[in-house]
Amino acid sequence: MNADRSPEQIIRDVVAAVTLKRTEGFGLDDDLQKLMGIDSLSLLRIVAGIEEEFDVRIPDEELHALRTLRAMLAQVEVAAM
């Protein structure tokens, strides 16, 4: 994990890398699937990127719920505990 970046910024970078789109305009509670047209596989790529960056494993049953930056941040916090 890059210590120079906040967890939120790391997640935003992962989302940007997977979607090839900028995320600056998206709020923490915006539904990324709706706003960015992200499909289910891209969401899972984001999960993979987050798990790699934070060295965590998000529970399988939570995979479907990671539609907002806030939800992703929350899962990272829970998984890191």
Partner 1 sequence: MRIGLIAMSGVRVRSKELVELGVTLPGFVNRGKVIASLPSLGLLVVAALTPAEHDVTYLEVDVMPETLPDFDLVGISTFSAQADEAYVLADRYRARGAKVVMGGTHASLLPDEALGHVDAVVCGGAEDVWPALLEDAKAGTMRPVYRGANRGFYAEREPVVPRFDLLVGRPYNRITIQTSRGCPLDCDFCAASKIFTPRYEQKPVAAVERELRRVVSLFERPFLEFADDNTFVNRAWSEEFLRMLATFGLRWFTETDVRVADHPGLPKLMYDAGCYQVLIGFESPSAESLAGIDRSNWKAKRRGEYLRAIDTLQSAGVTVNGCFIVGLDADTPGIFEQVNDFVRESGLIEVQVTVLTPFPGTRLYDRLKREGRLLQERFWDRCTLFDVNFTPKQMTVDELESGLRWLFRELYSEQATNRRKRHYVEVVKRLEPAREEPS
- Site residues (CB under 8 A) for partner 1, limited to 11-70: 13-14, 16-21, 37, 39-42, 44-45, 47-49, 51-52, 60-61, 63-64
- Decide if residue 77 touches partner 1 (CB under 8 A): no
User: How many whole angstroms from its chain centre is CA 11?
Assistant: 5
For 73, the token pair is: 């941040």
Q: What type of residue is 81?
A: M
Which residues would be at the binding site for partner 1 (CB under 8 A)? Answer: 13-14, 16-21, 37, 39-42, 44-45, 47-49, 51-52, 60-61, 63-64
